Amino acid sequence: TPTCEPETPLCCRRDHYVDFQELGWRDWILQPEGYQLNYCSGQCPPHLAGSPGIAASFHSAVFSLLKANNPWPLGTSCCVPTARRPLSLLYLDRDGNVVKTDVPDMVVEACGCS
Amino acid sequence: AQGAGSACPSCGGPTPAPQAERALVLELAKQQILEGLHLTSRPRITHPPPQAALARALRRLQPGSVAPANGEEVISFATITGPSTSACSSVLTFHLSTAQSHHLYHARLWLHVFPTLPGTLYLRIFRWSPGSGHQGSRTLLAEHQTTAPGWHALTLSSSGLRGEESPVLKLQLNCRLLEGNTTSAQQPRQLLDTAGDQRPFLELKIRPSEPGAGRARRR
């Protein structure tokens, strides 16, 4: 998946680091200090819609099935996450306990046109 | 949706202004984390554990242990109450509201024994359930004996801890010296360190209860 460049209009992954300090959440999230909140943005022209090279994933297969079986408005192909990974968090709950858990689907790794 | 006349940026609409985009991303991050943790709002921490105690507890855990999918590992620090300080008996109270509706599969209690241990220390841990009568009911969770000072990890019977509906877990700690004739002279807090950075803590590993698990077991 291409990482977005300023001049890239097409579907790409926009990398964005969120610092928990910036959210004012460092008092209860112990680790990590922040995380990579990537998201997908950009245009999906018709020739890229459902393109296997761009979005070869379970998600794109589902979108293709939906398109095949349902009336799908023209030009509604979207730039969507096609691969995600979990994020491990160590945080304090409201009772002051330390909790370590993996939160699924937190970090977008790849984007593609639906 | 960005408002009238514009479309979703992911579908090729106009990109919002950088400032607006940043605010949007931060709000998205907050919502994503809260949803991922099944919280409706950020926890307000009124009594955070002391940093030193926290650091010590984290160092005591198994290195590299990873929570299983959707599972959690919890460290809970004890609040100590002693119905009697003349006997080696204390009640350790833990507040575990996050562990409701989860399946507990591992529980260890960490205790710190004073360096000046004069003999063999014999420990018994009970789950304390206040019930009818003066005593309530007790379930034995672990027995342990040691001559070594320092930190000790007592594996608790997870089956003995299951079925706890209350978010407050009370463990009764009984200890005595097996050797020497110093039991009566030893105060409990001289055998076990239950204050400050050496507070006892509970290490739990839990995973979400599988729907239909009971049905599968019955089959």
Our CA-based measurement puts residue B145 at a distance from the nearest CA of chain A, in whole angstroms, of 28
Domain tally for chain A? 1
Task: Please tell me what DSSP assigns to residue A77.
Answer: -
pLDDT band at B89; cut points 50, 70, 90: confident
| Residue with more model confidence, B64 or B111 | B111
Q: What is the pLDDT of residue A80?
A: 87
Q: What's A55's domain CATH number?
A: 2.10.90.10
CB < 8 Å to B46, chain A: 96
Q: Which of A62, A61, A48, A58 is nearest to A12 (CA)?
A: A48
Q: What is the pLDDT of residue B85?
A: 45
* Among candidates B10, B29, B69 on the partner chain, residue whose Cβ is nearest the Cβ of A40: B10
User: In this complex, do A18 and B26 lie within 8 Å of one another by their Cβ atoms?
Assistant: yes
Q: What is the pLDDT of residue B59?
A: 85
Q: Enumerate residue ranges in chain A where pLDDT < 70.
A: 1, 47-76
Lowest mean pLDDT among B114-123, B125-134, B155-164: B125-134
pLDDT of B64 above 70: no
Span B42-65, average pLDDT: 83
Domain interval for residue A80: 1-113
**How many CB pairs lie under 8 A apart between chains A and B?**
123
CA angle B19, A26, A87 (to 5 degrees): 85
Burial class (CB in 10 A: 0-12, 13-18, 19+), A91: buried
pLDDT of B184 above 60: no
| Residue with more model confidence, B202 or B82 | B202
CB < 8 Å to A37, chain B: 25, 28-29, 32
* Among candidates A89, A94, A103 on the partner chain, residue whose Cβ is nearest the Cβ of B44: A94
Our CA-based measurement puts residue A104 at a distance from the nearest CA of chain B, in whole angstroms, of 7
Lowest mean pLDDT among A59-63, B50-54, B164-168: A59-63
Q: What is the pLDDT of residue B158?
A: 79
Tokens representing A17 are 């680091």
pLDDT of B91 above 80: yes
Quote the percentage of chain B above a pLDDT of 70: 69
pLDDT of B188 above 70: no
Determine how many CB atoms are found less than 10 A away from the CB of residue A50.
19
